[in-house]
Amino acid sequence: MNVCRSKKLLSVLFTFSVSISFAQRNQIIPIETQHNVIALQVGNDLRVSTAYFGTKLKDTSEYRFVRQMYRRGDDYSGILNSAYTPAGSRNLVEPAIEVRHANGNTSLDLYFVSSAVEKTDANVSVTNILLRDSAYALEVSLFFKVYYKEDVVEQWTVIRNKEKGNVTLQKYASANLYLTGDQYWLKQFHGDWAKEMQPEVTRLTAGIKVLDTKLGTRAHLYQPPTFMVSLDKPATEDEGKVLLGQLEWSGNFKVDLEVDPLNNLRLIAGINPFASEYTLKPNQQFETPAFVFTFSDKGTGEASRNLHRWARNYKLYDGKGDRMTLLNNWEATFFNFDEPILAGLLKDTKKLGVDLFLLDDGWFGNNYPRNNDRAGLGDWQENVKKLPHGVGFLVREAENNGVKFGIWVEPEMVNPKSDLYLKHPEWVIKQPNRQEHLYRNQLVLDLSNPKVQNFVFGILDTLFTKNPNLAFIKWDCNAVIYNAYSSFLEKQSHLYVDYVKGLYNVLDRVRAKYPKVEMMLCSGGGGRVDYGALKYFNEFWLSDNTDPLERVFIQYEYSYFYPAISHSNHVTDWGKQPLKYRTDVAMMGKLGFDIVVSKLSPKDLEFAQKAVKTYDSIKTIIWQGDMYRLADPRENPYASVMYVNELKDKAVMFNYITSNRYGAGSLSPIKLKGLDPAKKYKIREINIYQESRFGNGSNNSYSGDYLMTVGYNPGVNSNRMSVVLQIEEAK
């Protein structure tokens, strides 16, 4: 750097720093929810750091003393607790942001410029902290959106290039938290198709543990973007300090959990920088997706309920709204159906008493009929052999039967055996000079290309324009991205990011035009479940694994992060459990069926019909109530979960045997939660297959105090494999 330029820079830095008063320099910026705080501190040197994270104190001025109480060694860099760690200056650990300036220089050092709070309403506010580099015209705004009552924070950043040339973002995290405990315990999830949400708890030790995905379109073939971290010791349902978090992004994510040399936990979450350098032209900015988290010092139960409330109130599409029960034909017919078969299923839908019939995969493609998963994807015209009168006829038939009609699409994908592939090979993500590698015989369309976005929007738009009464969409996404290459993009390293942006662009357009349609998010089971996508979807498909015993476990783990109203659960023929068990399990969310109704025995049919009615009478408690996990099937031979409404005068408790060992069952009472200790409750067994010994329960009424201190025994065992109890205030 020549002398003249460096003098100029020094004078810029000087003017910039003297304009900031002493009070501003040493200020604490408390970002507070009802119970918690992230207390940021502007240092004397104008760097912004985390002074404290956790349960909030009454006197905000005391946050400045917290760090002094720790004698864990020296922080040589002075920025281990940076609020947004820049790479290339004094940093020695994992950065949150790494850039290459227009002149090729890779250093960054960020200083406080200003902060502001904007209140949206009594509950929601956004704190915005502006940081600027001292030597380069690069700005970063840190945003913290606070949902006060729910104890939830969404955090993201905006990075602005004010330089004269292009700036390359090499890493651009959304959040950089700094947690302090004696120990850190991570609960992460992994899995595979039909094995979603397998939990694993490990202690974090010095160094970095990375949770990430590089699959492009979906995270959870291997790992979903959700996790939790407990401080000091693993949190239990009712005890312990725990953070539940996830990146609201449907593509590649990366979470670095670094136990630093001072035994603090640096948590950096954002888009995965893997193969994703992002170029900003002069005056361009990049807004990262939000990292959402909640923190509780009262265990995972409270943390989940906070997250559920937040999701229903602010994030999940129509989170407070209604949902339709349904009959789906995937397991019942797979690809083998035609108009008469579907006409029969529409009658069965009515007979069962559910609201809607959902036609799954296999209804389209003519030159390449979709009779299996090897052909047809991309050709969204009705198959004339299977549906000679089109979807319109089925929608009308459904109406004639007094039910609604929904349909499956997988609009982001293409089979090489399709007209679309032949017509638009340039729309397909694949390397020009390498052999294609298929996932489920298909490839991914290049959603970074606006023409492809139009095409994908057009699939939905055409369906709705032709069939305005179409009431439901199941949006699937099976394939991952192999051979990542876009023939549209100039910069290949933008593909993973621009794919997701393109997807959101399409979903924005779909939602703007079709706000009322119920949409289910599916991805070869639960491959793409995150709040970035759930902003557009009413519900998600948890797993293709509908074996009810497996589902008890899978639903239990999902329940940490997502409210029951978002869980699409179908009764199918998977598993060995009786219909009652399968139905009870599916009721703990949004109930659907995927069975051949005409093959049900008269008794089973009668039970299923009654179950739909019972479900209608309790669904609001399940959907909008508070959820309490009472017994973890990983720790007991049974599982127990209950939902309590806001007034605490109605609750439902679901209990399942999960072991077939001799004598296994609920040998002791299970303590209920969330009731009013002063209220008296009556307990009644519902959804009974046939009158059992317990029948409709006794006439006793119990105080909430009794039920929460002593508990109640649902009498679940190998003869009573699943028991649903309705708990109502005795008036």
Residues with a known catalytic role? 476, 544
Per CB under 6 A, 524 contacts ligand GLA: yes
x/- track of binding to ligand GLA for residues 536-555 (CB under 6 A) = -----x--x-----------
- Which backbone phi and psi does 704 adopt, to 5 degrees? -60, -35
Residue 323 assigned ligand-binding role: no
Smallest distance, Å, CB 334 to ligand GLA?
Answer: 8
Smallest distance, Å, CB 308 to ligand GLA?
Answer: 24
Nearer to ligand GLA, 542 or 641 (CB): 542
Nearer to ligand GLA, 358 or 579 (CB): 358
Q: What is the 3-state secondary structure (H, E, C) of 420-448?
A: HHHHCHHHECCCCCCCCCCECCEEEECCC
Piece of 381-389, 395-403, 520-528, 637-645 that binds ligand GLA (CB under 6 A): 520-528
Nearer to ligand GLA, 408 or 712 (CB): 408
Q: What is the dihedral of CA 184, 187, 188, 189, to 10 degrees?
A: 170
Smallest distance, Å, CB 57 to ligand GLA?
Answer: 48
Piece of 80-88, 115-123, 508-516, 518-526 that binds ligand GLA (CB under 6 A): 518-526
The closest of 139, 141, 136 to 105, measured between CA atoms, is 136
- Residues in contact with ligand GLA, total (CB under 6 A)? 12
Dihedral over Cα of 485, 254, 308, 234: its sign = positive
Smallest distance, Å, CB 589 to ligand GLA?
Answer: 15
C-alpha to C-alpha distance for 128 and 114, rounded to whole angstroms: 8
Residue positions counted in the chain: 731
Nearer to ligand GLA, 98 or 361 (CB): 361
Residue 4 assigned ligand-binding role: no
Nearer to ligand GLA, 373 or 705 (CB): 373
Piece of 42-50, 384-392, 412-420, 519-527 that binds ligand GLA (CB under 6 A): 519-527
C-alpha to C-alpha distance for 102 and 165, rounded to whole angstroms: 5
Residue 475 assigned ligand-binding role: yes
**Please, which residues bridge with residue 31 across strands?**
38
Smallest distance, Å, CB 370 to ligand GLA?
Answer: 9
In order, the DSSP letters of 184-229 are EEEEEEE--TT---EEEEEEE-SEEEEEE---SS-STTT--SEEEE
x/- track of binding to ligand GLA for residues 318-347 (CB under 6 A) = ------------x-----------------
Nearer to ligand GLA, 47 or 220 (CB): 220
In order, the DSSP letters of 687-714 are S-SS--TTTT--S-EEEHHHHHHT-B--
Smallest distance, Å, CB 130 to ligand GLA?
Answer: 44
C-alpha to C-alpha distance for 654 and 589, rounded to whole angstroms: 12
Q: What is the DSSP letter of 527?
A: S
Residue 541 assigned ligand-binding role: no
Nearer to ligand GLA, 524 or 532 (CB): 524
Nearer to ligand GLA, 180 or 523 (CB): 523
In order, the DSSP letters of 552-582 are HHHHHHHTTTS-GGGEEEEE-S-SSS-HHHH
x/- track of binding to ligand GLA for residues 370-399 (CB under 6 A) = ---x--------------------------
The closest of 297, 175, 144 to 246, measured between CA atoms, is 175
Contact 665, 686 (CB under 8 A): no
Residue 360 assigned ligand-binding role: yes
Per CB under 6 A, 476 contacts ligand GLA: yes
Read off the tokens for 160: 């602005």
Out of 150, 212, 302, 361, which residue is the one contacting ligand GLA (CB under 6 A)? 361
Piece of 149-157, 233-241, 517-525, 611-619 that binds ligand GLA (CB under 6 A): 517-525
Per CB under 6 A, 412 contacts ligand GLA: no
Read off the tokens for 28: 């604490």
Residue 446 assigned ligand-binding role: no
Smallest distance, Å, CB 440 to ligand GLA?
Answer: 8
Dihedral-angle region of residue 216 (phi above 0 means left; psi in -120 to 50 means alpha; beta otherwise): left
Per CB under 6 A, 409 contacts ligand GLA: no
Read off the tokens for 437: 């590698």
Piece of 295-303, 375-383, 496-504, 521-529 that binds ligand GLA (CB under 6 A): 521-529
Contact 231, 264 (CB under 8 A): no
Per CB under 6 A, 302 contacts ligand GLA: no
Per CB under 6 A, 408 contacts ligand GLA: yes
Return the SS3 of 188: strand
Please give the sequence-ordered ranges of beta strands (E in DSSP) within 303-434, or none if there are none: 326-328, 356-359, 404-409, 413-414
C-alpha to C-alpha distance for 487 and 449, rounded to whole angstroms: 9
Smallest distance, Å, CB 430 to ligand GLA?
Answer: 21
Dihedral over Cα of 59, 61, 65, 67: its sign = positive
Return the SS3 of 622: helix
CA 269 to chain centre: 15
Residue 440 assigned ligand-binding role: yes
**Please, which residues bridge with residue 264 across strands?**
180
Binding-site residue set for substrate: 193, 360-361, 440, 474-478, 522, 544
* Interacting residues with ligand GLA (CB under 6 A): 330, 360-361, 373, 408, 476, 478, 522, 524-525, 541, 544
Which amino acids are annotated as binding site, given as ranges? 193, 360-361, 440, 474-478, 522, 544
